[in-house]
Structure 1
Amino acid sequence: MTDIIIQNLLSPVVLFFALGILAAMVKSDLKFPTALSETLSIYLLIAIGIKGGIELSHYSLSTVIKPILGTLFLGTFIPIIVLFILRFMKMDFKNAIGLAATYGSVSIVTYGAAISFLSEFGTKYEGFMNVLVVLLESPAIFVSLLLLKLNEENQGHSLSQNIGFTAGKPMVSGLINTKVIKESLFGKSVLLLLGSLVIGWIAGEGALPAVKPLFIDLYPSVLMIFLLNMGVIAGQRLPEVKKHGWKILLFAIFMPVLSGILGIFVGNYIGLSLGGTTLMGVLAGSASYIAAPAALRTSVPEANPSIYLGLSLGITFPFNLIFGIPLYYSIAQWLQ
C-alpha cells in the first residue's frame, strides 16, 4: 500500500493540487478568474456525465439495479451516521445537519481524480459508475433536511433532541420547500451531470467521434488545471478549519474512511469489479462542496459555512486525494 500512496503522491494530479496549496500558504498572487473556474467545473461535469451515458448504453436495467439501490442506501444511511457521531461530539444540531448533508453527498472532483488513479494502474471499472455519481448528489441533502424539520417539529421530545426524529410521529407536509428541491435536483452540478448523461445514453457509441477529442482525450489535462485552482481554494480555507478545534479535524479524516469502507463493502456485496468497488468507496468517502453547500445556504442559513465547507474542502478533499483513494483501492483489493 505504501508504494500505491507514493505513486499517487507523485502523480501530476496530486502535485498540481499541492502546488495550489503552496501558493495559498505563501500568499502568492496566483488566482483563477471566476469565469475560468466556472468553465473548468462545467467541463468536468459534462465530461464525466457524457462518458457515463455512453457506457450506460451498453447495460440493461437488470445489470444496474443493484448498484443503484446500493447507492441510494449509502446516500440515506451515511448522513444518519454523521448526525449520530456529531451529536455524540456535542455539536449543535444545525451545524451537525450541515455536515450530515455535506458528508452524505459526493465530490465530483474526487471521483474524477479516482478515475485518473485507476487509469494509471490499468484498472477497469463499470461504465455505469458515472450514473451513481448523479444519484448520490441529492439523497443525503433530502435526508438531512428531513431530520432537521422533524427535529423542529418535535422539540419537546428528548429522543428528538438526541437523534433528530421521534418514532411514530406522522410526517407533515412542507418538510422540504420548493427552493431546496430546485437546488438539489436542478442545480448546476446535478443538471449538467444528469443532462449530459442522458445525452450520452441516447447517442450511444455514435457520439464517440464527436466527444472523444474534447471530453475524453483532454480530460486528464483539464483536471490538473482544475485541481491547481482547488488547491489554492483549499489552502485559503485551512485557517478557518483550525478555529474549530482538533476533534472536528479528526472527524474530517475519520468520517471519510468510515464511509469509504462502508461503500467498499456495499460495492463488493453487489458484485462490482475491483475498479467499481474502489469508486463506490470513493463516492461514499467523499464530501460535497458544490451541491450540498448550495442547498444548505438556502435551507439552513444558521449552519456555519466555514465548518461544513472548510472541512470538506480544506481537510477531507486533500486527504482523499492523497491518502484516501489509495486506501480504498487497497481495501477493495484485499476484499476481492
Structure 2
Amino acid sequence: MEFILDFLTRFATQLQSPTLGFLIGGAVLAALGSRLEVPDAIYKFIVFMLLMKIGLKGGMKIREADLGDMLLPALFAVLIGVIIVLLGRYTLAILPKIRTEEGIATAGLFGAVSGSTLAAAMAVMDAEGLTYEAWAPALYPFMDIPALVLAIVMANVYLTKRKGDAGTRVKIWPIVTDSLRGSALSALLLGIALGLLTRPDFVYDSFYEPLFRGLLSVLMLVMGMEAYARVNELRKVAHWYAVYGAVAPLVHGLIAFGLGYIAHVTTGFSPGGVVLLSVLAASSSDISGPPTLRAGIPSANPSAYIGASTALGTPVAIAIGIPLFIGLAQVVFASA
C-alpha cells in the first residue's frame, strides 16, 4: 500500500510540470475557440531546433561513450519497435470495423517515435534531476525505422495477398531510405553526426541549449491545440481507435520499462535511460511517420492513424506516460 501511495504522490507532482501545462493550455485554448495560430513553418523550425539539440548532445556523448554499453539498449529498442507493430497487427487490425491496412498503419505510427515527446521527457527529467546516458536519445532511430518498415511491409503483403498477386514482392530498401529522409529523423541523425564528428560544444552551449525550454513550451502549446483539433477526425472512424490511442502508449511504455530494467540489471543502464526508453516506446510519430506511412500505405485512411496518434496517443504519452514512468522509476529503483 505504501508503494502505491508513494507512486501516486510522485505521479501527481509530475503532472504539475510546466511542459505538460503548456500542452494542456493549448488544448484549452482550442476548446474555447481561440484563433491563436502558430505558422506551420515556425512549428517545423522549432522541431528542427529541438531535434538538432538532442542529436548534437547525443553525438558528443557517443564520442565519449563505451559503445558496448549501447548495444543491449539498442537491440531492445529494435525489438520494442517490432513488438509494438506485431501487437497492433494482431489486436487492433483484427477488430470489427477496422480495415486491416489501417490498423497496421496505426500500429506502425505508434511503434515509431515522436521527437517532441522525447524532448518533453528530457525537459521534465532534467527539472527533476533524473540523469540518463547522454546517448540514450540516440536510441530513437533504432525503434523508429524498424517499426515503420515492418508496418509498411506487413500492410503491403496483406494487400498483395488480398488482390491475389502472391508473386509480387514488397521492396524494403525504398521504405528504409524514405524513413531516413523524413524531416525529424534527418535532423536528429544530422545532429548526432555533427556531434560525433565535429566539435560543436560552443554553438551548442551558446545557442541550442539556452533556447531549448522556450522552444519546447511553444511546441507543447501547438501540440495541445492540434490534439484538440484532431478529436473531430477521430470521431469519423471506429471507436476502437480511441481505445487503442488511450491504452497503447501506456502498454508499450510498460513493455519498454520491463526490457529497460533487464538492461539495467545486466549492463547498468541507468534509471533515467529506462525512463527515456519507455517514453520512446509510449510515443507515436507526429512528424516523420505520417508522410512515410501515407506514401507506403496509400490506401489507409490518414484520419484513422493520425487521429488516433495526435488526438489521443501523444497527449496520453506526454501528460500521463512521462510522469507515470518517472514516478515508476523513482519507486522501483529506490527500492532496488
Give the TM-score of the pair, scaled to structure 2: 0.90
The Cα offsets for residues 105-135 of structure 1, whole Å up to 9 and x where unpaired, read as: 0111111111111112111001111110132
Q: Does 1:296 align with 2:297?
A: no
Could you say if the C-alpha distance between residues 29 and 195 of structure 1 is closer, same or farther in structure 2, counting changes exceeding 3 Å?
same
Q: Does 1:5 align with 2:4?
A: no
- What does 1:201-280 align with in structure 2 at a 5 Å threshold? 201-203=196-198, 206-271=199-264, 272-280=269-277
- Give yes or no for contact 1:253–1:315 (8 Å, CA) kept in 2: yes
What percent identity do the matched residue pairs reach? 26
| Separation in structure 2 between the aligned mates of residue 154 and residue 245 of structure 1, nearest angstrom | 24
| Separation in structure 2 between the aligned mates of residue 294 and residue 11 of structure 1, nearest angstrom | 31
Which residue, out of 10, 15, 24, partners 2:30? 24
| Separation in structure 1 between the aligned mates of residue 159 and residue 230 of structure 2, nearest angstrom | 31
- What does 1:51-90 align with in structure 2 at a 5 Å threshold? 51-90=57-96
| Separation in structure 2 between the aligned mates of residue 306 and residue 149 of structure 1, nearest angstrom | 19
Could you say what secondary structure the match of 1:123 adopts?
coil
- Give yes or no for contact 1:268–1:335 (8 Å, CA) kept in 2: no
- Give yes or no for contact 1:149–1:175 (8 Å, CA) kept in 2: no
Give the TM-score of the pair, scaled to structure 1: 0.90
Could you say what secondary structure the match of 1:289 adopts?
coil
Residue 87 of structure 1: how far off its partner (Å): 2.9
| Separation in structure 2 between the aligned mates of residue 294 and residue 320 of structure 1, nearest angstrom | 21
> Which consecutive residues of structure 2, in runs of 5 or more, have no partner in the other structure?
1-6
Hey, what does 2:109 align to over in structure 1? 102
Residue 292 of structure 1: how far off its partner (Å): 1.6
| Separation in structure 2 between the aligned mates of residue 275 and residue 177 of structure 1, nearest angstrom | 34
Hey, what does 1:151 align to over in structure 2? 158
Could you say what secondary structure the match of 1:125 adopts?
coil
Could you say what secondary structure the match of 1:209 adopts?
helix
Q: Which moved more, 1:1-10 or 1:314-323?
A: 1-10
Q: Does 1:175 align with 2:171?
A: yes
Residue 197 of structure 1: how far off its partner (Å): 0.4
Paired letter, 2:65: Y
| Separation in structure 1 between the aligned mates of residue 138 and residue 129 of structure 2, nearest angstrom | 21
- Give yes or no for contact 1:260–1:284 (8 Å, CA) kept in 2: yes
| Separation in structure 2 between the aligned mates of residue 176 and residue 209 of structure 1, nearest angstrom | 40
Could you say what secondary structure the match of 1:18 adopts?
helix
Residue 334 of structure 1: how far off its partner (Å): 4.2
Could you say what secondary structure the match of 1:136 adopts?
helix
Residue 173 of structure 1: how far off its partner (Å): 4.1
Could you say if the C-alpha distance between residues 9 and 334 of structure 1 is closer, same or farther in structure 2, counting changes exceeding 3 Å?
closer
Q: Does 1:312 align with 2:309?
A: yes
Residue 293 of structure 1: how far off its partner (Å): 0.7
Paired letter, 1:80: L
Hey, what does 1:189 align to over in structure 2? 184
Could you say what secondary structure the match of 1:270 adopts?
helix
The Cα offsets for residues 180-221 of structure 1, whole Å up to 9 and x where unpaired, read as: 343211121111111110110123xx4322211221122111
Paired letter, 1:49: G
Hey, what does 2:3 align to over in structure 1? none
Paired letter, 1:175: K
Residue 335 of structure 1: how far off its partner (Å): 3.9
Paired letter, 2:283: S
Q: Does 1:36 align with 2:42?
A: yes
> Which consecutive residues of structure 1, in runs of 5 or more, have no partner in the other structure?
158-168
Hey, what does 1:161 align to over in structure 2? none
Structure 1 vs Structure 2 CA RMSD: 2.0
